[in-house]
Amino acid sequence: MGTLSAHMLGLHFPNPFILAAGPATANAERVVEAFRAGWGGAVLQTVAAGLPDGWPQGSQVIRSGAKRWGIVDFNTRSELTPRLMGQEIDKIRDSFPDHPLLVSIIADDRAEAWQEMVRELDAHGVDGFEVHAGWSSLVRGGSVGELGQDAQALARTSKWVRQATARLLVVKLSPNVIDILPVAWAAVEAGADGFTATSGLSALGGIDADTLLPLPLRDPAHIVGSYRGPGLKPVALRWTASLAKKLGRPVFGCGGVAEWQDAAEFLALGASVVQVGAAVEWEGVGIIGRLTEGLQEYLGRKGFASPADIVGKALPRLVEFDDLNLNSEILAVIDETRCTGCDVCIRACSSGGFQAIDHVGPVARVDRLKCDGCGLCIYVCPEGAIRRMPKQVA
């Protein structure tokens, strides 16, 4: 049987699942409980220095009926001062001296604010710092601009932190950019050791149908929040892959990990370890059981010895449009023994495909001359009765 342990930035993780900075890492009690449950490490909730009081608070779950796929909030921050967070770190270390432990930090645009905070925390047993570059820029008094959207500001900040500590320096990058690489390079040159991809998307939580005011605060002056959870995953996967492919620095994947498969996707696209936030807030720290069991079973079944064996495996298969083989075509094929004649595929193909599926007796059948191989019907069939077949074979 293989191992689940992972190595990144010189740290040894018992498994590649750690808690992301947030409400689940607000204090020692929660983190100790999580480590007991089996989590591989944690990033402590963001400690802030020099920020204005009255930061907007509130969060909106993005859902359809009972199913949730996102949270929009305003980047939760710790209630604790650096000194008090230091005491929490000591308490965690009493019980768990070796679990990797980072602390998320944010401050206004002054060297003293960052360095005072870092020196205070550095005196405790933390392995490193995660600069929260996705923090929105009320910090800097502007209306737009996260630290992670401004290469110069991020370089400046990273340098200040680097001067104040010899410990690890990780930057949690913003997804709200045209290209993440220039920002990431600036941080590397200023001394960053690795990255977390990513913080939340700049977003609006919705509208209250009764008052027509923006959620969650119902205040037209506070619209823009940070959108995380499953809805962030496609974007976070994209930036993880870009960083892994072009930068060659270790990456924590972060965005919508709720099942082991999500983690495996981040690893395959180049992350070494994943951070989990929303899923723990929704379901509790107990989900670590299904995450580790699922990943362990998958790695064993596929003959991989450890998570490191799948890190970056998908990157050689990630190409650009011009490199796709446009001569490769598929056709949809319906298994008539499983088709219930429900019409769902007929509607989808008729409205969003090629009008290639029709009733033949009690079942649906694909007209092979009309099918353009878009793949849509395969996903909509509630019975899983449609599969793809290479056109040449068909």
Partner 1 sequence: MPGLEISFLGIEFPNPFLLASGPPSASGAMVVEAFKAGWGGAALKTISLDPTRPPSPRVHVIQSGKLKWGMLDIELFSDMTVEQWEGEIDRIRDAFPDRPIIASISGTNTPGSWQELVERIEPHGVNAFEMNTSCPNFSEGVERGSKLGQDPETLGLAVSWVRQVTKLPLIVKLTPNVADLRPLVRAALEAGADGFCATNSLSGIGGVDLDDFAPLPSVDGIGMIGGYGGPGLRPVALRCTADIVQTSPAPVFGCGGISKWQDAVEYLAVGASAVQVCTAVMLDGLRIIRRLTRGLDEYLQSRGLDSVTAIIGRGLPDGTREGLLRFYG
Q: Which of residues 296-315 bind partner 1 (CB under 8 A)?
A: 298, 310, 313-314
Range in contact with partner 1 (rule: CB under 8 A) among 11-19, 118-126, 156-164, 227-235: 227-235
**Residue 182, token pair as written in the block:** 């220039």
At closest approach, how far in Å is the CB of 177 from partner 1? 5
321 is an interface residue for partner 1 by CB under 8 A: yes
Q: Which is nearer to partner 1, 181 or 360 (CB)?
A: 181
A 10 A CB-CB count for 273 gives 29
**Residue 140, token pair as written in the block:** 């800097």
Find all residues with CB under 8 Å of 367, minimum gap 6, and list them: 356, 357, 358
- Sole residue written with tokens 């723990």: 280
53 is an interface residue for partner 1 by CB under 8 A: no
What mask, x for binding partner 1 by CB under 8 A, covers residues 148 to 177? Answer: -x--------------------------xx
Q: Which of 348, 357, 366, 386 is close enough to bind partner 1 by CB under 8 A?
A: 348
Q: Which of 54, 303, 325, 337 is close enough to bind partner 1 by CB under 8 A?
A: 325
Amino acid found at 310? I
The distance from CA 109 to its chain's CA centroid, rounded to whole angstroms, is 26
Q: Which is nearer to partner 1, 108 or 329 (CB)?
A: 329
Distance CA 138, CA 177 (A): 18
What values do phi and psi take at 231, rounded to 5? -60, -25
Distance CA 270, CA 252 (A): 9
369 is an interface residue for partner 1 by CB under 8 A: no
351 is an interface residue for partner 1 by CB under 8 A: yes
Q: Which of 1, 166, 221, 369 is close enough to bind partner 1 by CB under 8 A?
A: 221
H/E stretch holding 365 reads strand 363-366
Q: Which residues pair with 367 in a beta bridge?
A: none
Contact between 155 and 123 under an 8 Å Cβ cutoff? The reply is: no
Q: Which is nearer to partner 1, 177 or 184 (CB)?
A: 177
Q: At what angle do helices 288-302 and 28-37 cross, to 10 degrees?
A: 40
Range in contact with partner 1 (rule: CB under 8 A) among 30-38, 51-59, 120-128, 212-220: 212-220
- Count of residues in contact with partner 1, rule CB under 8 A: 76
Q: Which of 125, 181, 388, 389 is close enough to bind partner 1 by CB under 8 A?
A: 388
363 is an interface residue for partner 1 by CB under 8 A: no
Relative to beta strand 273-276, strand 194-197 is: unpaired
Q: Which of residues 111-130 bind partner 1 (CB under 8 A)?
A: none
At closest approach, how far in Å is the CB of 321 from partner 1? 5
46 is an interface residue for partner 1 by CB under 8 A: no
Q: Which of residues 77-96 bind partner 1 (CB under 8 A)?
A: none
Distance CA 245, CA 65 (A): 38
Q: Which of 8, 171, 264, 291 is close enough to bind partner 1 by CB under 8 A?
A: 264
337 is an interface residue for partner 1 by CB under 8 A: no
Eight-class DSSP state of 74:
S
Distance CA 129, CA 87 (A): 16
